[in-house]
Homo-oligomer: A and B are copies of this chain.
Amino acid sequence: MLYFNCDYMTGAHPEVLKALWETNLLHTEGYGNDCFTSEAKRIILNACGLDDGAVYFLQGGTQTNKIVIDRLLSRNDGVLCCESGHINVHESGAIEADGHKVISLPSDNGKISAESIRVYIRDFYRDDTYIHMVRPAMVYISHPTEFGTLYTLRELKGISEVCREADIPLFIDGARLAYGLAADGTDVTLKDIANLSDVFYIGGTKCGALFGEAVVSRRPELLPRFESLMKLHGALLAKGRLVPLQFITLFSDKLYYHIGHHADILAIKLKQGFIEKGYRVFIDSPTNQQFFVMPNTKIDSLKSEVGMGLWGPPGETESVVRFVTDWSTTEEDIDSLLSLI
């Protein structure tokens, strides 16, 4: 069986698990008052080029989006988001559950433009009835997006500028950030992400960790009493060191980058193989998620040997299928897949 369903099918990168193993018997205080947490914060801020800032560790992507957004928004505020954004589609209403409207903007391959944000905000305040409407009070984007696509540095700067003009924070969901940073042709670095966003998170779960995400902000004042809010959301792990420990490993010897690079290289090889075989690329992604239009009959015949993911509801005769690589994918896996299609 070949596994291309998603990037969270195995446990953790062996180095990460090794770190948990080696520190297992050490005693530390709970809830983040431990040396690993402070060490991981230091390492992450350093990698982000930030002298100062806030770093918090959470367990998963939806949880992270939910809590950061809950902190950034006031009661009668909403978050601007691409209509295909994860928070708008695949989080079971986690944002609304906390009382906040997700205001969707048209998607351009999973991305929104600075211009669409600017126009929305301008029109909002020009509407006489805006007091009855949900204030657009922050912007959420994902990088890579849910379609594997990436913003260019120029696009990110544009969005960041719009947010500063409107005095609302920009939050970047980096669930798959490793694959974005290592992508061929990208001009966006971790330091850019850290400086252009107000808050962002570095994905661990889908990038080699057992589980866990790291929220980073160059503006700690935006996240007051955040541990207490994490607790309220059931997200303050008793053994607070578990996630930072993993991030210490991921950010040693550039492991995080290498994981991304490995998966991206294989994903591009996979894409080229599909193109050569005549498949239509649904979205041209430079990262570890690849999307193709495939005949339903082909999909059915592959199912017993290849794990993959249907993207949206199936079509009449053909459907969109997603193939995902990660640190555990091998060159042989790609070759085997390509020989089957």
| A86 smallest CB distance to B (angstroms) | 9
Residues in B with CB closer than 8 Å to A89 are: 133
- Among residues of B, the one whose C-beta sits closest to the C-beta of A125 is B313
A235 at the interface (CB under 8 A from B): yes
Chain B neighbourhood of A78, CB < 8 A: 93, 96
Bound complex: CA of A29 vs CA of B135, how far in Å?
Answer: 23
- Residues of chain B with a CB closer than 8 A to A76's CB: 92-93, 97, 225, 228-229, 231-232
* Inter-chain contact B62/A231, CB cutoff 8 Å: yes
- Once the chains bind, are B9 and A23 in contact (CB under 8 Å)? no
Pick the contact of A17 from B24, B91, B92, B233 — CB < 8 Å? B24
Q: Quick one: given A25-B10, A131-B231, A231-B132, are A242 and B90 in contact (CB under 8 Å)?
A: no
Contact between B232 and A75, CB atoms less than 8 A apart:
yes
Copy tally for this chain in the complex stands at: 4
Residues from chain B with a CB closer than 8 A to the CB of A60 are: 234-238
In whole angstroms, how far apart are the Cα atoms of A1 and B28 in the complex? Answer: 11
> Residues of B contacting A92 with CB < 8 Å?
76, 131-134, 228-229, 231-232
Q: Which residues of chain B have C-beta atoms less than 8 A from A123's C-beta?
A: 312-313
Which of A66-74, A258-266, A268-276, A297-305 participates in binding chain B?
A66-74
- Tell me whether A317 is interfacial, beta carbon within 8 Å: no
For this complex, 21 residue pairs linking A to B, each with C-beta atoms less than 8 Å apart, are: A1-B27, A9-B27, A11-B20, A11-B24, A27-B307, A31-B131, A65-B234, A66-B233, A76-B225, A90-B132, A92-B232, A93-B99, A94-B231, A94-B232, A96-B100, A122-B313, A131-B225, A132-B236, A205-B239, A206-B238, A234-B234
